[in-house]
Amino acid sequence: HDHNKVNYNEEYVYVNVECCIHLERDLEKVKLNIPEATWSKKVKELFSSYNKKRNEHLKNKIESFSFEETNEFMIKFDEYILLGIEENKKHGKSHYYKTEKSLLERLVEYRDNYTYWIYDFTIPYTNNEAERGLRGVKTKMKVSGQFQNIENARYYANIRSYIETCHRNGINEVEALIRLLNGNPYTIEEILENKLQKNNE
């Protein structure tokens, strides 16, 4: 989220993936602050168009880009970054050129982290869904009093986790809560089976 470097820790067992919607916003800021910069518009259009193409592939049950598509994307991406580096040298008098340069350096250093979604369609283009899932917790943290004790906080987290898991796998939240109150919550096996059935429909 917002290129938080805390996520880049060698001790973590996961690989961090950058949110491309946040990248699009950063590219838009470059375009607005330095109108003569063409590279940011090109990169934004490239990412946006390939995201749309990927969504179309997924609708048509195509689970990956062809080698030609992937190769075309990466060649254009590298080409536009090189263009950006050259353009940035000419923007030295602009008050925004340092921010532009910082973004370019980030794209070079974290090139793979911004493009994993091209190679693996299970990786999301944006972390917006994760942000929406956390929004309720963030709102709760702002409420006066918050949680009375750690035990209540755990109850809240468990219930939210259960509801969110059911929702994301196509199970009605009200139905999920009724089953939970009746002492018969959905199991992981049932949730996965329900998801598989919906995918096959």
Q: What is the DSSP string of 74-116?
A: HHHHHHHHHHHHHHHHTTTTSTTHHHHHHHHHHHHHTHHHHHH
CA–CA dist 150, 173 (Å, integer): 25
41-59 pLDDT, tens digit each: 999 999 999 999 999 999 9
Give mean pLDDT, residues 135-158: 73
pTM (2 d.p.):
0.71
What distance in Å separates the CA atoms of residue 112 and residue 96, rounded to the nearest whole number? 26
pLDDT digits (tens, 9 = 90+) for 98-133: 999 999 999 999 999 999 999 999 999 987 665 566
- Tracing tokens 């598509």 back to the chain, one arrives at 69
Mean pLDDT of the chain: 88
Burial label, 190 (beta-carbon count in 10 A; 0-12, 13-18, 19+): middle
